[in-house]
Amino acid sequence: EPEVTQTPSHQVTQMGQEVILRCVPISNHLYFYWYRQILGQKVEFLVSFYNNEISEKSEIFDDQFSVERPDGSNFTLKIRSTKLEDSAMYFCASSEQASGGNEQFFGPGTRLTVL
């Protein structure tokens, strides 16, 4: 069964450093998303991406964040200058079609620890 994959599984970084989290969505999916889950808290929407541009973003997704689909398979989330409060589990997701009723398929997540 096709699945979303994410690398690395765990990333430790120093405050102020840049990190890139990588995701490989399911191959025939067209919509891509990033969510984060701070330990013990709810899953929060960050951004959705379609046709090589951001389709929607939350207030969390400020200028420190960016997303990119550098090739036909990868989808990345970059945090330019990490802060302690960026420590969280980051989930990538993808969905097949344009209809908003399509469910999203989630990757296993990357645990980001900012020291």
Partner 1 sequence: AQSVAQPEDQVNVAEGNPLTVKCTYSVSGNPYLFWYVQYPNRGLQFLLKYITGDNLVKGSYGFEAEFNKSQTSFHLKKPSALVSDSALYFCAVRDQNTGGFKTIFGAGTRLFVKA
Residue ranges binding partner 1 (CB under 8 A): 4, 31, 33, 35, 41-45, 48, 50, 55-56, 58, 91, 93, 95, 100-101, 103-109
Of 17 and 55, nearer to partner 1 (C-beta) is 55
CB of 1 to partner 1, least distance (A): 11
Q: How far apart are CA 85 and CA 81, in angstroms?
A: 11
Closest approach of partner 1 to the CB of residue 114, in Å? 20
**CA-CA distance, 40 to 16, in Å (whole number)?**
24
Report the alpha-carbon distance of residue 64 to residue 61 in Å, rounded: 7
- CB of residue 15 to partner 1, shortest distance in Å: 25
Closest distance to partner 1 from the beta carbon of 52 (Å): 15
Considering the complex, state which of residue 33 and residue 75 has its C-beta at the smaller distance from partner 1.
Answer: 33
Reduced to 3 states (helix: H, G, I; strand: E, B; else coil), residue 54 is strand
Angle at 56 between CA 36 and CA 112, to 5 degrees: 20
Tell me whether residue 15 or residue 38 sits nearer to partner 1 (CB atom): 38
- Virtual torsion, Cα 107, 109, 110, 113, nearest 10 deg: 160
Rank residues 14 and 42 by Cβ distance to partner 1 and give the closer one.
42
